[in-house]
Amino acid sequence: MKATVIIPAFNEEKTIKGVITPLKDVDLIEEIIVVSDGSLDKTAAIARECGAMVVELKENIGKGGAIKEGLKRCSGDAILFLDADLVGLTKNHVLQLTKPVLEKAVDMTIGIFTNGRVITDFAHRLTPFLSGQRCVTGRIINDLYDADISRFGVETVLTRIVSSKNINVKEVFLENLTHVMKEEKMGLIKGFAARVKMYWEIVKTLSNAR
């Protein structure tokens, strides 16, 4: 039993190597797929140099669409989703996320930041269902592939699947792990606006599901 890793990435040349490198040391990882979502920087080139399979999209179609492109090419028994802007990812973090799923103890793990940075730790404690760090089994993958993740986002769809089915989920606390926030990438005003829009779309989607 091994896992495929899918990493959607848009202009993440500064962090992508730090995400791929620890994955190469984990025997449970069968393949690493980086989907460069219309990146204009060196994201794709760096990922390729690090040994990942790279899917280059000509235009930016969003995280959900990029993940769906990755799903078309995966072959593992489980899928580990990781964000491309992680800072501090280690081999142990990867094992914490993958082993419970590959050992069939649970259907999905959700990674929660802790002891990383106060602001990202707080965001994960407040809204753990928004975490992009997850490992899922094959039966969830089938539902995910059929869902409209291009429009609503993978985290929202996974939350909806869990709430509607008997899915065993385990929250995994990932010590000293954090990520680059939207406000840091886009500037305070644009980043905050993007965050508010994301939260609103998620709340709307979950409300409609009920």
Average pLDDT value over all residues in the chain = 82
Q: Which residue has the higher pLDDT, 108 or 189?
A: 108
Residue 121 confidence (pLDDT):
44
d(C-alpha 82, C-alpha 98), whole Å: 11
Q: Which pair of structure tokens corresponds to residue 170?
A: 């385990």
Identify the CATH assignment for 3-179 out of 3.90.550.10, 3.40.50.300, 1.10.1780.10, 3.30.43.10: 3.90.550.10
- Write down how long the chain is: 210
Give the residue among 19, 159, 35, 16 at the shortest CA–CA distance from 94. 19
For 140-191, the pLDDT digits (tens) are 877 776 666 655 567 777 777 777 777 889 999 999 898 776 556 655 666 5
